[in-house]
Structure 1
C-alpha cells in the first residue's frame, strides 16, 4: 500500500468513551495510519478527539492504542500503518 492509500479499518471504542460516539462500540473508518484513522473518528465525533490526542498531536497520557492486539508504542506510534480489515483498539484511558 502506498503512503497515501487509505484502508477500511475498524476502531474499537472502550465503554468509558462511547458517550462521545453516540454509544457505538465500533466505528468503521478509512485510514492509512493509526493517526489517519483516529482523525476520521474525531471528524465524525469531534468530542472524542481531545480525549485521545493532545494539542501537540501526541497520545494523551494514559491512552493506549493497539492494532490487531499489538501496542503501537512499540511499532511506530501514531504513524503505524494499517491495512484493510485491521482493527484499532483504544484501551480505556486510565485515570492517574
Structure 2
C-alpha cells in the first residue's frame, strides 16, 4: 500500500484524515482505491474516468507526475503520493 497525503482543504472528504493508504502499482490505481474508500474525495480529485481535475496536482516523492507517466506513474509501497490543489487568487 502506498501512502497518500491529503491536504487540509480535502480532509473533510477523507473523514478528516491527513493521510490514507491505497493499493495499486500506479498512481491512478492507488488514487482509485482511495476514491473507492472515500467517494466524496474521488469526486474532488477526478473530473471523469481516469482524468484528474485540472486544479489537482499530484506528486510522487516530490516529483510532479505531469513530468513522469501521469496517472500511469509506477509506485512502490515506500512511495508517498502527495495531492496539492492549485490555488488561484489575486
Q: TM-score, normalised by structure 1?
A: 0.86
Runs of 5+ consecutive residues of structure 1 not aligned to the other structure: 1-7
User: Displacement of 1:55 after TM fit?
Assistant: 1.6
List 4+ stretches of structure 1 deviating above 4 A: none
CA RMSD, aligned part only? 1.3
Q: Distance in 1 between matches of 2:23 and 2:13?
A: 19
Q: Which residue of 2 aligns with 1:72?
A: 65
Question: Which position in structure 2 is the counterpart of 1:33?
Answer: 26
Choose which of 1, 12, 23 in structure 1 pairs with 2:5.
Answer: 12
The CA deviation string for residues 39-69 of structure 1, in whole angstroms up to 9 with x for no partner, is 1111000001121111242110111000000
Are 2:44 and 1:51 aligned? yes
Kindly tell me the number of residue pairs found equivalent between the two proteins. 89
Which blocks of at least 5 consecutive residues in structure 2 are unaligned?
A: none
Shift of 1:93: 3.7
